Amino acid sequence: MDSILQQITDWLKEMFISGIMNNLTGAFTSVNQQVGQIAAEVGQTPANFLPGVYALIRNISESVILPVAGIILTFIACYELIQLVISHNNMANFETWIFFKWIFKTFIAVTLISNTFNITMAVFDVAQWVVRNSGGIISGSTAIDDSALASMQVTLESLELGQLLGIYMQSLIVQIGIHILSILIFVIINGRMIEIYLMTSLAPIPFATFGNREQSIMGQNYIKSLFALGFQGFLIIICVGIYAVMVQTVAFTSDIVGSLWSVMGYTVLLAFTLFKTGTIAKSVLSAH
């Protein structure tokens, strides 16, 4: 009778150990794949990330938004000319050089809106260079290696049936939680690129405001917002580097439950910090 109970107990232990290992392997694989793709995705320019979407956005912007920007530029140029003419004591000290100044400023403004997408892509080319080089310096794997999983399985084999049942339930919760977090990471990374496409679609309008000092505040803030979106990728790489260091400090030896929740906590922290990178980048560059 005792041998039968022992066989049933051993069978249940093997089932729970197998279930725990499958839960954790699936969870770690999911988050590792998602985190591993971050560096490659944030290092791409809008033109390379989704070429079809970029071509669509550029075509719509140049066909629909650019004519509106031209109208805005015309009003701003007229307003700037009026200001230049009346600025010298209501034309009492009239000087003809102001017309050359106005022509030069208008020429610069027309050149800017004519090369809007070249300028915006130059911003993201600079950001891509920073992200690519920082990704090469910040090294570290976010994966839970095979040796850690093997040591965890050895520890599990030494536990009692009741303990294995508790760990199995917790590992199931951790697996579900990490799958949700991996989806959240995917949404954050791809949402940033969608925001970039939306920003670039309206690029000609703020660029049209550079013809006047007062109105150029819109264009200046737009440029700062572009740099904030570009350097958000750099902050994302920093977050991944910190996460890699944190995960490698987790030791799956004796306290398996604590290690499981530590990885879960670090993943939650990664998702939260990724969500905050946009706000931090805008705060640093005074973009709003």
Give the model confidence (pLDDT) of 1-51 as tens digits: 557 776 777 677 778 777 777 777 766 666 666 666 777 778 788 888 888
pLDDT band, very low/low/confident/very high, at 261 (cuts 50, 70, 90): confident
pLDDT of 282 > 70? The answer is: yes
Domains of the chain by residue range: 11-65+116-284
Q: Specify the pTM.
A: 0.78
Among the residue ranges 71-75, 88-92, 191-195, the one predicted with the least confidence is 88-92
Instruction: Please check the confidence at residue 91 and state whether its pLDDT lies above 70.
Output: no
Q: Give the pLDDT confidence score for residue 197 in this predicted structure.
A: 92
The pLDDT of 52-72, averaged and rounded, is 89
Output the DSSP codes for the chain: -HHHHHHHHHHHHHHHHHHHHHHHHHHHHHHHHHHHTHHHHHTS-HHHH-HHHHHHHHHHIIIIIHHHHHHHHHHHHHHHHHHHHHTTTTTTT--THHHHHHHHHHHHHHHHHHTHHHHHHHHHHHHHHHHHHHHHHS----S--HHHHHHHHHHHHTS-HHHHHHHHHHHHHHHHHHHHHHHHHHHHHHHHHHHHHHHHHTTHHHHGGGGSTTTHHHHHHHHHHHHHHHHHHHHHHHHHHHHHHHHHT---SS-HHHHHHHHHHHHHHHHHHHHHHHHHHHHHTT--
| pLDDT value, residue 94 | 61
User: What pLDDT, in 10s, does the model give residues 149-178?
Assistant: 667 777 777 777 777 777 778 778 877 877
The pLDDT assigned to 34 comes to 66
Determine the pLDDT at residue 31.
Answer: 67
Band (pLDDT 50/70/90 cuts) for residue 88 is: low
Mean residue pLDDT across the chain: 79
